[in-house]
Structure 1
């Protein structure tokens, strides 16, 4: 019987992160999540519940303390899922340099720093480890209203490739890039249920992704079935988005 893996999911209390944590719990892994505030209900599956660590991923001291705590208390880390991130809507011409710096720090620099900590521990383990960056479809297409976020996620894709070269063979580094995902905050981006349905209808699979589906992708990328996958970016977007020019083209669209 294989040893139970230890998995750390940043931002694992809600949204996509919660779906990721639940997927790993369902697979039998020991799951740690971190965030600034403990959730009212921790991710759980059957009799397994995620363990919460209070840590602000943008605080270098907090990251170092969290990783030292994992090393001392558990002794290893098998999988890091760098999920924490996000950005509010902001016009690129009007947003302040301070705002842009904060978005880059959260979505690129913080996961990079945590990956460094994880790599140091994983390199000492006989079985190595896997680092999964959660990217975004915004990395590979225009990201109006979230330009700094899209740029940061594009950096994550490139970072994945570079770290895979530097840290292999002991540590695999991969990226999972979701498209449109339905979460408890979807109404902030798409409006009410009708708005969510209309947005979902623009996707070839005719719906938004569910957080657990992103979790399943992360689970596969970190598992033995993907043992020769490193430096790769798995795009999970339901087929993408229908090009807007087709709505205006005078062609048969049936």
Structure 2
């Protein structure tokens, strides 16, 4: 039987691209997201339209909030009941106001979702990942913002840097039965991976700390982005969701079993460009 991926944040964005690409390659996928409308749109409308009918049995889904331990336990159990195992756990979990003007509760909420949520889901999945024949794999999602900053992103940066430290420790603690990796995306345009009709107004989006900071919608990849933005990347373009999906597949299935504890920066080389104000 094919590898089973359990994906958090699969209702939109990178998580949705990841689920689609894995299904197209024949893997089995269990999708979760706290936003049930986005998740249902992905699983009822989007995936059946792009995945062949014979592969529809390869995915299941359930709403899950990574801050709710009971929901996590139930989702893990449903995945195992549906597919018999979990082989790879892929976890994908804002900023703009100076930190002295942000309530500490907002900081704590972001940490709870991105960092503690990663910990919670990993805890629940460990017993099943240990039973995976080739060794279980956890692929956590960080961000270039763990090491590169713009103003007023303290909570997001702390949560992502925390994920990298947590993952290194997990790699040491959980080996040899489980390997742990981190993928750290740069600028990845996934605005088209949302159903526009499901989005609330922009102000509501900006106030919702459970959503990622890139809240606008575009009908196609790269729409409205400047040529200068692409040219600033050594590879000549900004990222696609598929770029991240390839790394998750590689680390989860193809890597070969001799890598763990690493963070892989997937940013088109942008972080390597020396840039001073003109």
- Residues in 2 aligned to 1:166 and 1:98: alpha-carbon distance in whole angstroms: 31
Residue 237 of structure 2: aligned partner? 207
1:238 to 268, 271, 277: 268
Q: Judging by fraction of residues, say which structure has more helix.
A: 2
TM-score, length-scaled by structure 2: 0.80
Distance 2:262 2:172 in 1: 11
C-alpha distance in 2 between matches for 1:189 and 1:244: 29
Q: What are the equivalent positions in structure 2 for 1:1-254 lying under 5 Å apart?
A: 3-36=1-34, 37=36, 38-42=39-43, 43=47, 44-47=50-53, 48-49=55-56, 50-83=59-92, 85=93, 87-184=94-191, 186=214, 188=216, 193-241=223-271, 242-245=273-276, 247-248=277-278
- Deviation string, structure 1 residues 101-123 (Cα, Å, up to 9, x no partner): 00101110001110111112122
- Hey, what's the Cα distance between the residues in 2 that align with 1:126 and 1:207? 39
Aligned residue pair count: 242
Alignment-derived partner of residue 211 in structure 2: none
TM-score (norm 1): 0.87
Q: Distance in 2 between matches of 1:45 and 1:166?
A: 38
The alpha-carbon deviation at position 92 of structure 1 amounts to 1.9
1:231 Cα shift?
0.4
RMSD after superposition: 2.3
* Paired residue secondary structure (2:100): coil
Structure 2 residues without counterparts, runs of 5 or longer: 193-213
- Once residues 103 and 155 of structure 1 are traced to their aligned partners in structure 2, the CA distance between those partners, rounded to angstroms, is 12
Q: Does the 8 Å contact 1:23/1:219 carry over to 2?
A: no
